[in-house]
């Protein structure tokens, strides 16, 4: 029962059956009061960062991924607005309407931007207008992955499908078995060399992007427990890749690293979180469900440091940037922590609404997006 409570309370995410409605809330298990966010000390301002520009899209109530390519960022809002924004200036390269409210977005290779509508439609846009759309058999909470002239989707029935980027023609589908529940949260897709790496039911799976055939499978977590909620170990979006090393998080279960050239698990460690990871060649960083920020050693998985300075502040996934680890919180603040020991280095404000996606860097610009649709660019002074 304790694990069931932590699933609902710490995440504040809706869980649903593929093709079914969200499960009801369970206030009788954990009461009506949320833990009080940690109070913040005066800002240390030990590193110099300044606001560079601000842009806006519509309100963001979807699992947003901010795609970075060619000095531009692709973002999307719940009302169907899709924008490709120049990261140096904050100006639109183009902006378009997908034609329907969105469930997931945005994936991009810098030219093509792909999103998923609430009506289970994959929509590809280019040069400021819709290029094609394809109906999918199930919903998706994961931004499409655009690479190599193709658009790849991960749907709630745990199917991976490839489409031709110019025509929308379906090229192949690979479906894998899994638990009946899925997270209403972004899943994991990335490229490692000539392999498409996807998170499926606690496993990293390497696929041939040309045919969809499985090259390898590497388990990061094994479903356990007495009910479907306790057995949910889907991998969440946001991975740390350095060369062939890919480190990822299984929902409320583990973090771990895999050699994606061989499909070999290097290590796994217990962890209790729902947001993705980031890192460098020495460390992997993550935020836990209670607001702790953790650094694991990339080679062994041993903890290097843990910070409790941001407890219960509803943190995003992290970004390793320069000497900092950057996270957003539920009040719109952006926190800079030392990647060596977790000490607080600086914090910046946005519009007061929650930061809704892990911060990203494009060129020399740090970009964050808020629930109210604010897109903020920051640069070092």
Q: Residue 51 corresponds to which tokens in the numbers above?
A: 């606001």
Token pair 């192949």 in the structure block, residue: 172
The domain total for the chain is: 1
Q: What does the pLDDT look like over 270-297, one tens digit per residue?
A: 999 999 999 999 999 999 999 999 999 9
Q: How many CB atoms are located within 10 Å of the residue 188 CB?
A: 24
Per-residue pLDDT at 67 exceeds 90: yes
Q: What does the pLDDT look like over 313-342, one tens digit per residue?
A: 999 999 999 999 999 999 999 999 999 999
Task: With H, G, I as helix, E, B as strand and everything else as coil, classify residue 4.
Answer: helix
Range of the domain at 83: 2-380
State percent of the chain over pLDDT 70: 90
Q: Which helix (H) or strand (E) holds 52?
A: strand 49-56
* Contact (Cβ atoms closer than 8 angstroms) between residue 53 and residue 28: no
Strand order in the sheet with 214-219: 189-192, 195-200, 203-207, 214-219
Average pLDDT, the chain: 90
Q: What does the pLDDT look like over 2-39, one tens digit per residue?
A: 333 333 333 333 343 343 333 333 333 344 578 999 99
Identify the bridge partners of residue 347 per DSSP, sorted by sequence position.
335
- State residue 9's pLDDT score: 35
- State residue 32's pLDDT score: 58
Q: Which segment of 10-19, 105-114, 197-206, 358-367 scores lowest on mean pLDDT?
A: 10-19
Q: Which helix (H) or strand (E) holds 10?
A: helix 2-11
Q: How many CB atoms are located within 10 Å of the residue 307 CB?
A: 20
Q: Residue 57 corresponds to which tokens in the numbers above?
A: 């899209």
Indicate which CATH number applies to the domain containing 299: 2.130.10.10
Strands (E), 98-244: 102-108, 112-117, 121-126, 129-135, 145-147, 150-154, 159-164, 170-175, 181-183, 189-192, 195-200, 203-207, 214-219, 240-242
Token pair 């995003």 in the structure block, residue: 316
Q: What are phi and psi of 2, to 5 degrees?
A: -65, -40
Q: What does the pLDDT look like over 227-254, one tens digit per residue?
A: 777 777 899 999 999 999 999 999 989 9
- State residue 183's pLDDT score: 73
* Separation of alpha carbons 249 and 4, rounded Å: 18
Per-residue pLDDT at 55 exceeds 70: yes
Q: Residue 14 corresponds to which tokens in the numbers above?
A: 């809706």
Identify the bridge partners of residue 161 per DSSP, sorted by sequence position.
153, 173
* Separation of alpha carbons 236 and 138, rounded Å: 18
Which is more confidently placed, 14 or 95?
95
Per-residue pLDDT at 345 exceeds 70: yes
pLDDT level of residue 222 (50, 70, 90 thresholds): confident
Q: What is the biggest distance separating any 2 CA atoms in the chain, rounded to whole angstroms?
A: 55
């Amino acid at each position: 029962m304790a694990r069931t409570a932590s699933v609902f309370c710490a995440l504040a995410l809706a869980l649903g059956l593929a093709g079914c409605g969200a499960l009801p809330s369970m206030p009788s298990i954990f009461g009506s009061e949320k833990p009080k966010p940690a109070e913040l000390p005066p800002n240390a301002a030990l590193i110099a960062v300044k606001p560079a520009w601000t842009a806006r899209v519509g309100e963001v109530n979807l699992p947003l991924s901010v795609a970075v390519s060619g000095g531009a960022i692709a973002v999307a809002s719940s009302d169907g607005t899709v924008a490709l924004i120049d990261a140096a200036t904050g100006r639109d390269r183009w902006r378009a309407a997908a034609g329907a409210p969105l469930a997931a977005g945005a994936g991009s290779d810098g030219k093509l931007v792909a999103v998923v509508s609430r009506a289970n439609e994959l929509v590809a846009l280019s040069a400021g207008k819709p290029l094609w759309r394809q109906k999918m058999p199930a919903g998706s909470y994961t931004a499409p992955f655009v690479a190599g002239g193709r658009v790849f989707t991960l749907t709630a029935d745990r199917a991976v499908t490839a489409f031709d980027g110019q025509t929308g023609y379906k090229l192949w589908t690979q479906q894998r078995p899994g638990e009946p529940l899925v997270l209403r949260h972004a899943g994991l897709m990335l490229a490692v060399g000539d392999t498409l790496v996807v998170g499926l039911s606690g496993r990293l799976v390497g696929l041939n992007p040309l045919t969809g055939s499985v090259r390898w499978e590497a388990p990061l977590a094994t479903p356990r427990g007495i009910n479907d909620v306790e057995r949910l170990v889907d991998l969440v979006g946001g991975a740390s890749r350095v060369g062939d090393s890919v480190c990822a998080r299984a929902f409320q279960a583990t973090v771990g690293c895999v050699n994606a050239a061989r499909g070999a698990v290097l290590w796994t460690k217990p962890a209790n979180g729902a947001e993705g990871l980031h890192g460098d060649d020495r460390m992997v960083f993550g935020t836990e469900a209670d607001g702790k920020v953790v650094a694991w050693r990339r080679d062994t998985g041993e903890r290097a440091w843990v910070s409790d300075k941001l407890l219960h502040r509803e943190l995003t996934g992290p970004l390793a940037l320069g000497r900092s680890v950057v996270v957003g919180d539920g009040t719109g603040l952006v926190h800079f922590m030392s990647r060596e020991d977790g000490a607080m280095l600086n914090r910046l404000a946005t519009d007061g609404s929650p930061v809704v996606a892990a911060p990203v860097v494009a060129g020399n610009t740090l970009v964050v997006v808020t629930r109210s649709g604010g897109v903020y660019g920051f640069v070092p002074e």
